[in-house]
A and B are shown apart, each in its own frame.
Chain A
């Protein structure tokens, strides 16, 4: 379940590389037909990087990634946005949940190159610029819906998605539709309570 041992921190070396060269390579448009976006050589050479542009928490970001870079690696390692967590790295725990074009997704199984043009929202983008928490963040604090907090960014984004999708009708439905987010601390009852509170606020 750990990262590929051959590439323990794939983004790290790349960041150093980018920092020293300052260059962003391979500017060819991704949407423009069938072109190889990168070479097969696993060494981090300029030709192996290609450009991807997405909107992150309302801001357009362009970055250079390898084909194998996942979205969560691009967020954490390339952009330094560490609010999104990695638990299992295999789609099993939900710690890496972000919103992509309004849908909650596991960012550990999404290749960064496939996010061209997407709108991504991470936990850093939820509070308003003045610092007022998103209602779901406030409800998690209010209902004590975490202990260690590791799963919490993923839980909160998933909870927002759960209500958005119309699957927060009852406690049982919330449990079913939040099943993609594991909490080793077992904060589940309070997470359900937080979601019910936000749902009721929105309906009220």
Chain B
């Protein structure tokens, strides 16, 4: 690992000051993405601005109308919160099914949503072609590489890296917002706008500006949250990134679907809301056949790569399976209220 300057601000204003400007400096939260990529020489910041001393960013609240997560809340702490499990099981499951207990003890929610792709060519500097790492150098994945871990939705001819995170799928399904502060002031970003498609500049992954810090992630409470589920299919039973996953939520009126939320993990270049699949469900009578129809609709526009065609049937099954669980939860909830 190259050496770097190290800063420990204790306030948000100080952190923004340190990370803005011309120097190559990045924020450091838990470091489980940053230190990993620095060891690989994929990221080489001249300085790290360690924000974990800003204690006010650690808190979170599970309110009746709104969930608010400080950017420095730990994954493990939030995953174990009983109120969140009741309010929105998908948000809990997408956390505890991610990474390992040790990593979740250290990783923070702000860092989590900004984790970077696991594309093996991006992570290995022995491959000189990677447009994300070195703009204009090509793409080792698309130029003869193994593409089994790559995106079948949202990719471009320049980059088909997959966004690997789990929690982001539950956030995008429920219209989360991200509150930030930067040199230019504060703003609120719809979660769906935070990450950007690779297009012809895959090195740009989010709309965040230099020195802009995530303060919190907020989610408005809707009925479909209670009957929600995060289903994650992976190569081994635990501690692996998603081969395909789905965050779903259902609100039923009898057996009629009033509201449906579906987001897809493990298959797309950014957190992915499956609007067309939601449309299949809305206003119709729920059944397994309908759930399967929604699963197929979620992948209607997918572009399989040489080694990732398996993700289409797998992903469709995962969506259908997640919806079946959400439906069972909605039924159980309705019984509970009688």
Contacts and interface: CB of A to CB of B under 8 A. Distances in A.
Interface residues of B, number: 40
Nearest to B14: A34
A106 B106 CA distance: 8
A4 interface: yes
Contact of A158 (B48, B101, B238): B101
B101 A68 contact: no
Interface in A60-94: 66-68, 70, 89-91, 94
B95 to A, nearest CB: 13
B7 A37 contact: yes
Interface in B36-55: 36, 38-41, 46-48, 50, 52-53
Interface string A27-58: 00011011111111110000010100000000
Contacts of A16: none
Given A90-B39, A158-B102, A162-B101, A38 B3 contact: yes
B238 A179 contact: yes
B67 to A, nearest CB: 22
Given A36-B47, A40-B3, A179-B238, A105 B106 contact: yes
Given A91-B32, A91-B36, A165-B80, A179 B2 contact: no
B6 A36 contact: yes
A103 interface: yes
A193 interface: no
A108 to B, nearest CB: 8
Contacts of A91: 32, 36, 100, 102-103
A50 B7 CA distance: 12
B78 to A, nearest CB: 14
B138 interface: no
Give 8 closest A-B pairs by Cβ, nearest first.
A180-B100, A179-B238, A179-B239, A103-B105, A67-B6, A42-B3, A68-B1, A37-B6
Interface of A: 3-4, 7, 10, 30-31, 33-42, 48, 50, 66-68, 70, 89-91, 94, 97, 103-106, 109-111, 113-114, 158, 161-162, 165-167, 175-181
